[in-house]
Structure 1
Amino acid sequence: MRILLVEDDQGLWQAMKIALSAHSIVLDVAADLGQAREALSNADYRALILDWQLPDGEGVSLIPLARRLHPGLPVLMLTARHHIDDRIQGLDAGADDYITKPFDVNELLARIRAVCRRPAQPQIPTITLGALQFDFANRCASLNGANLPLPRRQLLVLETLCLRAGRTVSREKLQEAVYGFDDNIESNTLESHISRLRRTLAPAGVEIHAMRGLGYLLQTADEP
């Protein structure tokens, strides 16, 4: 899952990035509205977390653009404002939820899960391919009913391929799902993750095919 955080407090966003990465969430950070507009124009996100007060304006002003570029994008307001009128203003501006600083990371994770379950976001509870099952709600994989422990980035690659099982996923889409825009990506890193996944999934009768010039395709071994 890739999320955009618009927040200018470096200490806060660094702590959030570390905490969320432990839950297989890739967090891109924009320090102001200008950087946020550029990020929204160049990448796909599952959710947007907006600080209220930013160096170049109020975070709520970004919501109309975010929704034009990404219809149905869940928006979570993150702010130090506690007054009920502020909450109403944020929700009326189009935010889906509201969390005040300081906050507990577990509460933030719960609110992220909640806004991403909105009816506008089609939900696929699980997918089964051969002996592989991927649970999207809990973001975990299993083989023959046994939990499949995967490193974070391999899990993100598998999640993205499972969401589009039977269809080709471009290299760019996979990289967007796995890496933030400030991550250093070596040329063969994605291939390394896919190679390890292939070995892991082989006993399940599931294959990842490289489609030359197009991307990668996840399907069962008996599919043509």
Structure 2
Amino acid sequence: MRILLVEDNATLSEGLSAILRSSGYAVDVVADGASADAVIATETFDLVILDLTLPEMDGLEVLRAMRSRQNKAAVMILTARGTPEERVKGLDLGADDYMIKPFDVGEFEARVRVLLRRQAGLRASNVSYGNVSFDLKSRMFSADGAVIDIPARELGLLEILFLRAGKVVAKEAIIQSLTAFDDDLSANAIEQYVSRLRKRLAPHGLTVRTARGIGYYLEKVTSS
């Protein structure tokens, strides 16, 4: 899952990005509204965490421009501007959640999980496909009650495929979801991760299929 954090307070920005990255998310950070608007127009994110009082362009204007382009990424407003009027305006413009600074970090993390779960079209925090289950809170996969040990990048790839099980996910969409601005991930690297995932999933009745020239999809393996 890829998150854009729009925050001009460097200390807060560093702290929040560290928290999000420790949970396994790809996180990009910008510090002004104009940069946020430009990035949102050209990149794909699952969630935008948006301050309102920003240099160059107000956060509400960023949100208005984003929704006018039919961008459906989830948006959490995270701001010190907490009057009822501001909240109503933000929600009316298309924000999915509105948190007031200062805030509890645990609540922040929980709200992020809820928004990402909704974005994936899920109601519960635990999802199953075949014999494998995925806990969105802990970001751990398990089968028959035992945790499946998966390195971070492969886990991120499996998460993308698992939440869209049976549907083809384009290579470019996978790369976008797994990488931030300063990361470099090639199509060849994705192929290597897919190959390793196939071996890890084989004992559990799942595999990753290739849609030639398009991308990959997760599928149950039927025994013959």
TM-score range, shorter chain: 0.7 to 0.9
Q: Tell me which residue corresponds to 1:184.
A: 184
Which residue matches 2:128? 127
In the other structure, the counterpart of 2:163 is: 163
Q: For residues 195 and 105 of structure 1, do their structure 2 counterparts lie closer, same or farther at Cα, with a shift above 3 Å needed? A: farther
Contact 1:7 1:31 in 2 (8 A): yes
Q: Taking structure 1 as reference, are residues 144 and 81 closer, same or farther at Cα in structure 2, changes over 3 Å only?
A: same
Map residues 95-106 of structure 1 onto 2, 5 A cutoff: 95-106=95-106
Q: 1:147 to 1:28 in 2, by over 3 A?
A: same
Cα–Cα, structure 1 residues 195 and 80, in superposed 2: closer, same or farther, change >3 Å? same
- 1:4 corresponds to which letter in structure 2? L
| Cα separation, 1, equivalents of 2:166 and 2:223 | 9
Distance of aligned partners of 1:117 and 1:156 in 2 relative to their CA distance in 1, 3 Å threshold: closer
Return the alpha-carbon distance in structure 2 between the equivalents of residues 137 and 123 of structure 1.
Answer: 13
C-alpha distance in structure 1 between counterparts of 2:123 and 2:107, whole Å: 23
- Alignment coverage as a number of residue pairs: 222
Post-superposition CA distance 1:83-117 (Å, at most 9, x none): 55544443444433322334343221122233445
Q: Residues 34 and 104 from structure 1, CA distance in 2 versus in 1: closer, same or farther, beyond 3 angstroms? A: same
SS of 1:53 mapped into structure 2: coil
Letter in 2 for 1:3: I
TM-score normalized by structure 1?
0.83
- Aligned CA distance change for structure 1 residues 150 and 191 (closer, same or farther; 3 Å): same
Contact 1:124 1:136 in 2 (8 A): no
The two structures, once aligned, show a CA RMSD in angstroms of 2.8
The answer to whether the 8 Å contact 1:117/1:123 transfers is: yes
SS in 1 for 2:76: strand
| Alpha-carbon distance, 1:175 to partner | 1.0
Following the alignment from structure 1 to structure 2, what is the Cα–Cα distance between the partners of residues 211 and 223?
21
Unaligned runs of 5+ in 1: none
Aligned to 1:78: 78
TM-score of the pair, normalised by structure 2 = 0.83
Q: 1:121 to 1:175 in 2, by over 3 A?
A: closer
CA contact (8 A) 2:74 2:95 kept: yes
Distance 1:161 1:223 in 2: 21
Q: Is the 8 A contact 1:5 1:49 kept in 2?
A: yes
Unaligned runs of 5+ in 2: none
Q: Which one is further off, 23-32 or 85-94?
A: 85-94
1:208 aligned partner: 208
